[in-house]
Structure 1
Amino acid sequence: MLLRCVLLSLLLATPVLAAEPQDLARNKNCFACHGLENKIVGPAWKDIAARYKGQKGAEQLLAAKIKNGSHGAWGPIAMPPNPVSDAEASQLAKWMLTRKY
């Protein structure tokens, strides 16, 4: 019984990531400002992928921007901080970097 309680506690404490990063992006309203192929308010994800292609530390940099917000990288409109966990921000950044340009 104790083992069951411990395992259940671990399961409940582990962040659950969306099965598909695109679903996570949809659930976090990323598409309200970013299109996959086209700029909306912020840049298209394919353009972000092209800018950061091959850049060391790009995933961590983008994850931080997703979570904490950003200003000035793509123009005068700031991206506000987003209500995502570190794991979700990392998952979104990793997926973003795989977009084709």
Structure 2
Amino acid sequence: MTTQALNRLATAATAATLLLAAAAMPTATQAAGLSDDAAHQLAAQAGCPTCHAVERGAKGPEGLPPIGPAWRDVSAKYRGQKGADDALTQAVLQGSNPYDSHWKGKASGLAMPPNAVAIGQDDARKLVGWILRLDAK
């Protein structure tokens, strides 16, 4: 085999290796956290849809309006703020202050109840990360 043929073979092998590696890598959404389906499943297991919907105006269980803010609104309000992921994770786990209702007029509930019994810290952090990556639509 000639040197030129060996070089072409090596180049083809390198390209094939790179393509296989790229195919095995997760998508940007998956690398950053949960897929949409996994986030919806995790939220449902923790009972989040009882109070929240992804979209503003969506109905909750049994056709009732959501008690808490829509997640796209949460994303729009907090995305890019330093420490938002930590603060929101703690709000999920420990609840929020009913006297500091910054969603007044946008949600019917006064405060977020503590949810540490329904969702663990790692899963809460993943879900909050997914919420913060939602587009504002």
What is the aligned partner in structure 1 of residue 56 from structure 2? 38
Greater Rg, structure 1 or structure 2? 2
Pair 1:97 & 2:123 matched: no
What is the aligned partner in structure 2 of residue 69 from structure 1? 95
Match of 2:83 among 43, 52, 57: 57
Number of aligned positions between the proteins:
84
Which runs of 5 or more residues in structure 1 are unaligned? 1-16
Match of 1:81 among 100, 110, 114: 114
- The two structures, once aligned, show a CA RMSD in angstroms of 1.9
Q: Tell me the amino acid that sits aligned with residue 121 of structure 2.
A: D
Shift of residue 92, structure 1, vs aligned partner: 1.1
Which runs of 5 or more residues in structure 2 are unaligned? 1-33, 58-65
Tell me the TM-score normalised to structure 1 length: 0.75
What is the aligned partner in structure 1 of residue 45 from structure 2? 27
User: Which deviates more from structure 2 when the two are superposed, residues 31-40 or residues 70-79?
Assistant: 70-79
Higher RCO (Cα < 8 Å, 6 or more apart): 1
Tell me the TM-score normalised to structure 2 length: 0.56
SS at match of 2:96: coil
Shift of residue 67, structure 1, vs aligned partner: 0.5
Structure 1 segments (4+ residues) deviating >2 Å: none
